[in-house]
Every structure is written in C-alpha cells, then in structure tokens.
Amino acid sequence: MKAITIRGIDSSVSLKLKQVADTEKKSVNQLVLDMIKQNIGMQKKKIYTRKYNDLDHLFGKWSDAEFEEIQDIINSQRKIDMELWA
C-alpha cells in the first residue's frame, strides 16, 4: 500500500479534520481516505446511515425520583378501561 504525504495543511483545517474524525469515531487517516474515495467516485455516500446527536444531552439525566414519577404516569395510561370495550 502506498503512502502519500500532504504538506501545507493549515492549523484550522487540521483541527477541523480532528474534530470530524472524533465525531465519526475514526482516525484522521481513515477519515481522509474515506473523503478522498468518496470525492473521486470510488465510494458511494451513505445516505441512509445518518447519525443524530441532537438528543445526546438527555441520556442519563433522570434521577431515580424523576424516573419513578414518569414511569408511574406511563403505567397509569396503560390500563384498559373495560367500560369503553363493553
């Protein structure tokens, strides 16, 4: 496998590459390889595997008391009203 060195990368570009690589959980090398392949037509863009992070800040935030309160509300709504079905 060949190695190619790219010189003259601005610090802002380098920082952005590192941020995107961290977000996509890839190495900078793998990110750049994927970007090159995609942009020269050797790899299709994945359009159905989009990842969303907009709700990440909500995970693991409920206290035990909040969980019990919400779970009680959910459980009360799951009861069947027999008068409606008679």
**3 within a domain of the structure (yes/no):** no
Residue type, 8: G
**16 within a domain of the structure (yes/no):** yes
**CA–CA distance, 23 with 34 (Å, rounded to integer):** 14
Note the pLDDT tens digit of each residue in 17-76.
Answer: 999 999 999 999 999 999 999 899 887 767 777 778 888 887 777 888 999 999 999 998
Give the C-alpha distances (Å, rounded to integers) separating 10 from 13, 14, 16, 21. 5, 6, 10, 17
Q: Which two tokens stand for residue 55?
A: 């709700």
Domain count, the chain: 1
Task: Report the predicted TM-score, pTM, of the whole model to 2 decimal places.
Answer: 0.50
Residue type, 61: K
Secondary structure (3-state) at 18:
helix
**2 within a domain of the structure (yes/no):** no
**1 within a domain of the structure (yes/no):** no
Domain span at residue 28? 11-79
